[in-house]
């Protein structure tokens, strides 16, 4: 009996994407990635990374360094109790700087070559498998291979595919939500086994249908995740503002305010001392008013900075 698999893009799906990664120290797991893999494995899926690596073709990283990067990824996953069954990558690109990598390749997504190779080598049932990635080329590669697809990314980043290109079967904010989508699919399949096979997701709906019909399937979890992200962002902003309170303008305003109080005290002393001239009181009050205006000016300048 063939196995089923979860095919995963690498960058911005499992690890952070700072650009072209060219050193193992740049590998940083995304939040929830390791836990997601553990849950996929518990559902009986093989875990396979399929990644375009044009950085090799562009001369940014060698295949030897790329192997070190992937070993680092495996190490970080192992430290969190997760693993990958295999990693496939495509080093080719039609505009490669290095001649031996300059070609069109069926392995380069959106072509399904890497998924088809994995299916043959690892005895994978593609019809029972999923492709998860953050890019339309991941969706197209998965769809062309016969897999169900999940597009990862915040709602604000969603773009309608080009005409003739497939829609993702599902959309998720991150890999945590992708896990929940696949769990729901399993639960639905267990309840209605006779209907599980013929059901094909949103891709078979006419293009004239409103795409918002997909939303109720994941809307609650999407909203919860977005609210958590918003709360985290607000906390970050508050922390940034807390440590950004000090400024030279604010310091000067405080110093001038102290001098204003000193001038007012001198004015009160002159008023309580009958021997002092009224002119001294007026001078002290005048200084206090001028300095108070300076303090307000410094404070306003600091606020507008």
In this prediction, residue 10 has a pLDDT band, given cuts at 50, 70 and 90, of very high
Nearest to 68 by CA among 24, 31, 34, 108: 24
Whole-number mean pLDDT of the chain? Answer: 80
In this prediction, residue 266 has a pLDDT band, given cuts at 50, 70 and 90, of confident
How many whole angstroms separate alpha carbon 172 and alpha carbon 226? 11
Does residue 92 have a pLDDT over 90? yes
Does residue 243 have a pLDDT over 70? no
**Percent residues over pLDDT 90 in the chain:** 54
Q: Which residues are identified as catalytic?
A: 9, 11
In this prediction, residue 254 has a pLDDT band, given cuts at 50, 70 and 90, of confident
Does residue 80 have a pLDDT over 70? yes
Which residues lie closer than 8 Å to 145 by C-beta, 6 or more apart? Answer: 7, 112, 115, 116, 119, 126, 129, 131
Q: The pTM is what?
A: 0.63
Residue predicted with more confidence, 286 or 226: 286
């Amino acid at each position: 009996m063939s196995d089923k698999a979860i095919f995963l893009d690498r960058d911005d799906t499992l690890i952070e994407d700072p650009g072209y990664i060219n050193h193992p120290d740049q590998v940083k797991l995304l939040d929830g990635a390791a836990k997601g893999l553990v849950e996929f494995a518990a559902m009986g899926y093989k875990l396979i990374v399929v990644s375009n690596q044009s950085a090799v073709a562009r001369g940014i990283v060698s295949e030897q360094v790329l192997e070190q990067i992937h070993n680092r990824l495996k190490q970080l996953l192992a430290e969190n109790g997760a693993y990958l069954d295999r990693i496939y990558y495509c080093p080719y690109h039609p505009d490669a700087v290095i001649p031996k990598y300059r070609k069109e390749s069926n392995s380069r997504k959106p072509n399904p070559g890497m998924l088809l190779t994995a299916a043959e080598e690892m005895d994978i049932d593609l019809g029972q498998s999923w492709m998860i990635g953050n890019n339309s080329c991941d969706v197209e590669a998965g769809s062309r291979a016969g897999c169900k697809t999940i597009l990862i990314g915040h709602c604000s980043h969603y773009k309608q595919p080009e005409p003739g290109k497939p829609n993702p079967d599902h959309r998720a904010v991150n890999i945590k939500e992708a896990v929940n989508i696949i769990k729901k699919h399993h639960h639905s399949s267990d309840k209605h086994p006779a209907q599980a096979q013929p059901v094909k997701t949103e891709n078979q709906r006419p293009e004239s249908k409103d795409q918002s019909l997909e939303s109720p399937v994941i809307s609650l979890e999407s909203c919860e995740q977005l609210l958590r992200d918003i709360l985290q962002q607000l906390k970050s902003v508050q922390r940034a503002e807390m440590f950004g309170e000090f400024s030279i303008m604010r310091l000067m305003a405080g110093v001038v305010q102290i001098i204003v109080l000193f001038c007012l005290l001198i004015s009160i002393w002159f008023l309580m001392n009958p021997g002092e001239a009224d002119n001294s009181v007026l001078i002290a009050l005048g200084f206090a008013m001028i300095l108070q205006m300076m303090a307000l000016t410094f404070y306003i300048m600091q606020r507008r900075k």
